[in-house]
Chain A
């Protein structure tokens, strides 16, 4: 255990000293602020639009049809989640690649293993150091999001909302660590570092961008700017009635989306943030219960990554590196 801690401390220091730390942290913070600013402008625009429609209706002597847009502060973090999906996964890949590349480049693996350090200690130490670092980055992002909500959108969080935000950060941590372990596995298994990096980015592209994109573009509602059902003045109930006739198409679309761990992550955190309106008033345990499958998939992806890292690190020929 003490060996792992020493390795973890060394790992953490190495990350802090590399330029990657500051670059990715600043990028994520800038993206967080941008997203909250744009989302709060969009919300203000919706309120203005509602007020102006209300004014016109009153002048015509009519009653307003829909409710006034209500601010749910956590909804403003949707863009932040999108960035965590994309850039967070890149951060995981970079850290996973660097942790192995460092040993390969300096040819220190043999040296470490000549000491009384087991391969389990090595893996655990490396994971711990990076996990702490990712945790700190997420705490920064969460705090910055919180500050942006207060100062830009003028929204304060309730205790339940704060708890939901914490859970979102915890799930994001698992998600990023899953990509960390995937990249570490590729860098352990492949001889060429840049090849391993490109393979990691290709897998990232398929899981994070392509599979969700296919599911998204197959959605009938996404075919017209502003939504197809909106364009023919259908409400949610009518939309459901029509789509019920195309259940096999919707099942296929859902299946494609579920092949992507990113979509499972997104569904969980979107539910917690109340981005789908039906989850807004729901209690945390109920949300977690409904999204149990998605949470399990994200955790399974992470667990599979750790197992893969461990099994490849246990191979005898791993020392051929040097």
Chain B
């Protein structure tokens, strides 16, 4: 256990010294800062667009339907963060896990490390702990930035703050799955580029391909935090495809659960939206899957090889 803590501490120190990690972190932090303003500004303008549209309807003697934005919760201004976690957070997590798995290999110190009384279990535990704590620090920073920037734009109550931190906690679990995946491939693949490419392909499949199969969303449509209209799924073929693939569409489960946590109407679609608890459970399963891959990678790798 003591060895694991030393490895974890080293991992955290090394990560925050890595320029590429800092670069991705800077992009993530910048977008976290921007997201509250983008959300507030677009919501503000869209309310004005609705008022102008309603006025136009009234002038032509028609009754204006009620505003679809009337009961938007305060935290809806952070809806873009859901997408930034999926996009930037996903890549940040993969690069964190990848760097953790690749560091000793590239420095050629694996043999040296295991010549000391360190077991594979110590190594694995230390690495996983290090990755988890690094991501937790990133998420905490993002949560603090979001809380402060939102408080400047809208009045947040205690419940909003709890929801905001729950959203980031949930995002942390989602990102751990990708980080563990990046770590696993960095250990098992000989080629540096392929080791990074495979988790990125997984990320593309989860972020863009599965939502296209389940909700007939165009790949770039997945970048919109507004949940899709899925009336189209009345088509039997699309419905069958949806039913088959949907349980595995991790990013959609994350989007729906995150929208629910932020107080947005995740059930506003005609799709068979599963209960929030089940969706959240699937995200935990995703993280556990990544964890299992990490265990398998560490136990299968030959420590004398690199």
Complex contact B237–A41 (CB within 8 A): yes
| Residue of B27, B46, B65, B208 with most chain A CB atoms under a 10 A cut-off | B46
Which of B17-25, B118-126, B150-158, B293-301 lines the interface with chain A? B17-25
Which of B1-9, B51-59, B171-179 lines the interface with chain A? B51-59
Instruction: Report how many residues on chain B are interfacial, defined by Cβ distance under 8 Å.
Output: 69
A279 within 8 A of B: no
* Separation of A225 and B255 alpha carbons in the complex (Å): 14
B95 within 8 A of A: yes
List, sorted by A's number, 8 A–B pairs whose CB atoms are closer than 8 Å. Answer: A20-B197, A46-B232, A79-B219, A90-B204, A222-B226, A232-B68, A242-B49, A246-B45
Complex contact B49–A220 (CB within 8 A): yes
Complex contact A205–B27 (CB within 8 A): yes
Residues in A neighbouring B191, C-beta threshold 8 A: 19
The residues of A with any CB-CB pair to B shorter than 8 Å are 19-20, 23, 27, 31, 34-35, 38, 41-42, 44-46, 48-49, 78-79, 82-83, 85-87, 90, 94, 97-98, 101, 193-195, 197-199, 201-202, 205-206, 209-210, 212-214, 216-218, 220, 222-226, 228-229, 231-234, 238, 241-243, 245-246, 249, 266
* Separation of A41 and B232 alpha carbons in the complex (Å): 9
- Residue from B20, B45, B87 within 8 A of A210 (CB atoms): B87
Beta-carbon nearest neighbor of A31 in chain B: B209
B268 within 8 A of A: yes
Number of A-B residue pairs with CB-CB distance less than 8 Å in the complex they form: 179
Which of B135-143, B162-170, B210-218 lines the interface with chain A? B210-218
- Residue from B19, B53, B226 within 8 A of A224 (CB atoms): B226
Complex contact B219–A242 (CB within 8 A): no
* Separation of A222 and B87 alpha carbons in the complex (Å): 19
B31 within 8 A of A: yes
Complex contact A202–B27 (CB within 8 A): yes
B276 within 8 A of A: no
- Residue from A85, A198, A210 within 8 A of B24 (CB atoms): A198
Complex contact A223–B87 (CB within 8 A): no
Complex contact A42–B91 (CB within 8 A): no
Residues in B neighbouring A222, C-beta threshold 8 A: 224, 226
Complex contact B224–A249 (CB within 8 A): no
Complex contact A216–B232 (CB within 8 A): no
Residues in A neighbouring B84, C-beta threshold 8 A: 210
Beta-carbon nearest neighbor of A82 in chain B: B219
Q: A42-B216, A217-B38 are in contact. Are A225 and B193 (CB under 8 A)?
A: no
Q: A38-B213, A79-B218, A202-B23 are in contact. Are A212 and B46 (CB under 8 A)?
A: no
Chain B 79-99, CB-CB to A under 8 Å as 1, else 0, gives 110011001100100010011
Complex contact A198–B20 (CB within 8 A): yes
Q: A199-B23, A209-B223 are in contact. Are A41 and B238 (CB under 8 A)?
A: yes
Complex contact B68–A224 (CB within 8 A): yes
Complex contact B53–A44 (CB within 8 A): no
* Separation of A101 and B197 alpha carbons in the complex (Å): 15
Residues in A neighbouring B208, C-beta threshold 8 A: 82-83, 86
- Residue from B19, B42, B192, B220 within 8 A of A85 (CB atoms): B220
* Separation of A49 and B270 alpha carbons in the complex (Å): 15
* Separation of A281 and B284 alpha carbons in the complex (Å): 50
Q: How many whole Å from B35's CB to the nearest CB in chain A?
A: 9
